[in-house]
Copies of this chain bind each other. A is one copy, B any other.
Amino acid sequence: MNLDDIDRRILRALQRDGRMPNNELAKAVGLSASPCLRRVKLLEDAGVIDRYVAVLNPAKIGKGLTFFTRIWLKAQDEDTIEHFAAEVAKLPQVLECYLMLGDCDAMVRVVAADIHDYRRFQSEHLSRIKGVQNVKTDVPSQTVKQTSELPLS
């Protein structure tokens, strides 16, 4: 897929406001409504635009804190890793999980209401997954930046 300058402007705008009305978007990118809409549909069909989502305020629903947890497994064979990945993906508190090659075996980003909520999650869910040997939690003291806006060349 080859993106031109107008496509990039469309993507930038929709990353900021996924519900921007098409008329408004068209004006913002210097096009009339119908070709603008056509481009958006093409970007959706091509998978460049994956989906649209509502972004919630974590603090307002009692999930204001983020925790980064590094995980070491008892073994690194296929079965152990696959089982861990499948189980951790089921946990709704886990927003992100990556398998790592270096120091630890996996890293997860967890949201919780507070430290007690997190500790309960760790002991009752994370540590109970078969194959988990050790976990270490890092707590951010401040969030400097947190965006879903990808840079467009």
A146 to B101 Cα, complex, angstroms? 18
What's the tally of chain A residues with a CB closer than 8 Å to chain B? 62
Contact residue among B53, B57, B95, B151 (Cβ-Cβ distance under 8 Å from A55):
B53
Q: Is the C-beta of A58 less than 8 angstroms from some C-beta in chain B? A: yes
- Smallest CB gap from A10: residue in B: B54
Contact residue among B54, B85, B139, B148 (Cβ-Cβ distance under 8 Å from A95):
B148
Instruction: Knowing A1-B60, A60-B48, A153-B62, say if A55 contacts B96 (CB, 8 Å).
Output: no
Q: Could you list 17 further interchain pairs (A-B, Cβ under 8 angstroms) beyond the known A88-B144, A95-B150, A111-B150?
A: A1-B60, A3-B61, A15-B54, A17-B53, A46-B60, A48-B60, A49-B54, A49-B57, A50-B55, A53-B55, A61-B150, A61-B153, A63-B150, A68-B107, A95-B149, A99-B142, A99-B143
